[in-house]
Chains A and B, each alone.
Chain A
Amino acid sequence: ETGVTQTPRHLVMGMTNKKSLKCEQHLGHNAMYWYKQSAKKPLELMFVYNFKEQTENNSVPSRFSPECPNSSHLFLHLHTLQPEDSALYLCASSQDVLAVYNEQFFGPGTRLTVL
């Protein structure tokens, strides 16, 4: 499999559930990102990892907890979410966070619905 993959593609959860989103990149990149995409709003950067180390947390509520066990895998653990957290969650990767001219490669996203 090539590129950036995300599972699951769709997720419906209640506000008291705990679930995890998974992202895997097969591009040999060292940087990985989580974005939130809501209708009519720009993409919101949530977290950035470079060589497994978190380099940015964009004031994301603690009910979202990222984990990056290695440069190829990224998780987003979800706990006690709110209905306003319903959105498309996109994972992306790039060669290196510091190489600002490199494009990011995106996965297909997980469509999350919080009831």
Chain B
Amino acid sequence: AQSVAQPEDQVNVAEGNPLTVKCTYSVSGNPYLFWYVQYPNRGLQFLLKYITGDNLVKGSYGFEAEFNKSQTSFHLKKPSALVSDSALYFCAVRGPYTGTASKLTFGTGTRLQVTL
């Protein structure tokens, strides 16, 4: 069975500092990895995904994520945090197509709080 772990319920960072939101996964075969963000009273918004190729993936709003196969991780990063980045972040994984479609499995989410 596939799974996602987001070990931190909350990450606090000062505006202008770099941020990292951690994600590790477990899946059979090559993973498809996604990051979503959820602002208050809103649905999930797609940020970026890893399918294959370059381990560093760039996405919306200056976010990027690094795929590390040996550590089965896909940490979300941003060089300089903004107060407006404060939101709930979800990592998700999907396994390869094996004749039937695999589910998109989400982590429990990490709340990012950016302060002035």
Interface pair A106/B106, CB less than 8 Å apart: no
CA distance A109 to B46 in the complex (A): 15
> Does B105 contact A42, Cβ atoms closer than 8 Å?
yes
Do B101 and A42 touch across chains, with their CB atoms under 8 A apart?
no
Scoring B residues 97 to 108 as 1 if CB is less than 8 Å from chain A, else 0, what string do you get? 100011111111
In the complex the two chains form, what is the Cα distance from A100 to B94 in whole Å?
A: 7
Cβ–Cβ < 8 Å partners of B109 in chain A: 42
Interface string of B40-54 (1 = CB under 8 A from A): 011111100101000
Chain B's closest residue to A108 (CB) is: B43
Identify B46's interface contact among A56, A98, A103, CB under 8 A.
Answer: A103
* B108 and A100 form a contact (CB under 8 A): no
| Contact between chains at B104 and A104 (CB < 8 Å) | yes
Which residue of B97, B102, B106 is within 8 Å of A42 (Cβ)? Answer: B106
Q: Complex Cα distance A41/B90, Å? A: 11
Give bound CA distance, A103 to B37, whole Å.
13
- A1-22 interface code vs B (CB 8 A; 1 in, 0 out): 0001010000000000000000
Contacts of B46 in A (CB 8 A): 103-105
Measured as residues with beta carbon below 8 angstroms from the partner, the interface class of chain A is 20 to 34
> Within the assembled complex, what's the spacing in Å between the Cα atoms of A97 and B104?
10
A109 to B42, CA, bound (A): 7
B107–A100 contact, CB under 8 A?
Answer: no
Contact in complex: A109, B101 (CB < 8 Å)? no
In the complex, chain B residues whose CB is within 8 Å of the CB of A50: 101
Q: Does A55 contact B (CB under 8 A)?
A: yes
A6 to chain B, nearest CB (A): 8
Which B residues between 41 and 82 are near A, CB-CB below 8 angstroms? 41-46, 49, 51
Contacts from A to B (Cβ < 8 Å): 4, 6, 40-43, 45, 48, 50, 55-56, 90, 92, 97-98, 100-101, 103-109, 111
Extra contacts, 16 of them, besides A4-B43, A104-B104 (Cβ < 8 A), are A40-B108, A42-B105, A42-B106, A56-B103, A90-B44, A97-B101, A100-B94, A100-B101, A100-B102, A101-B51, A101-B94, A103-B46, A104-B46, A106-B45, A108-B42, A109-B41
